Amino acid sequence: MHELGVVFYVVRDVKKVAEENNVKKVSAVTLEIGEVTGIIHDYLIDCWNWARKKEQVMEEAELKIEQIDAVTFCEDCEQEYPTVTYGKTCPNCGSEHTYLRRGNEFLIKEIEVSDS
């Protein structure tokens, strides 16, 4: 389960940002996760709920997840298409000269802080 390792990195980075900005309480963290990262959202949330309780600044922080849909680009017909539906083969021209344009990202988008 690599979700736990990912959560450790997110907690570390959020804690560092909180310290640098004199934040006492983080209320929520929003992640952007690509559709083809292989990360299982339910596992990630379970790991988050366990790990956040270990850090006082984050012990009540909610995890919000925004999915980035996977999109592939075809170099032959120069069209984009949904990766998960069609895979590596372009549905427009049948070419396999394609590459993933987006959908493999994992980003901390936003850190919300509490006023109290």
Determine, yes or no, domain membership for 17. no
The answer to the question of residue 84 being in a domain is yes
| pTM passes above 0.75 | yes
Residue 16 lies in a domain: no
93 is in an annotated binding site: yes
90 is in an annotated binding site: yes
- Domain residue limits at 54: 3-11+25-113
User: Per the structure, how many domains does the chain have?
Assistant: 1
Sign of CA pseudo-dihedral 88, 93, 99, 102: negative
Q: How far, CA to CA in Å, does 101 sit from each of 2, 42, 90, 97, 109?
A: 23, 25, 13, 13, 19
Give me the CATH number covering residue 62.
3.30.2320.80
Q: What are phi and psi of 65, to 5 degrees?
A: -120, 130
What is the per-residue pLDDT across 22-40, written as a single tens digit (0 to 9) for each? 999 999 999 999 999 999 9
Q: Is 74 annotated as a binding residue?
A: yes
pLDDT digits (tens, 9 = 90+) for 91-102: 999 999 999 999
For range 70-78, the mean pLDDT: 98
User: Annotation-wise, does 2 bind a ligand?
Assistant: yes
Domain annotation covers residue 20: no
In a domain, 19, yes or no: no
47 is known to lie in a ligand binding site? no
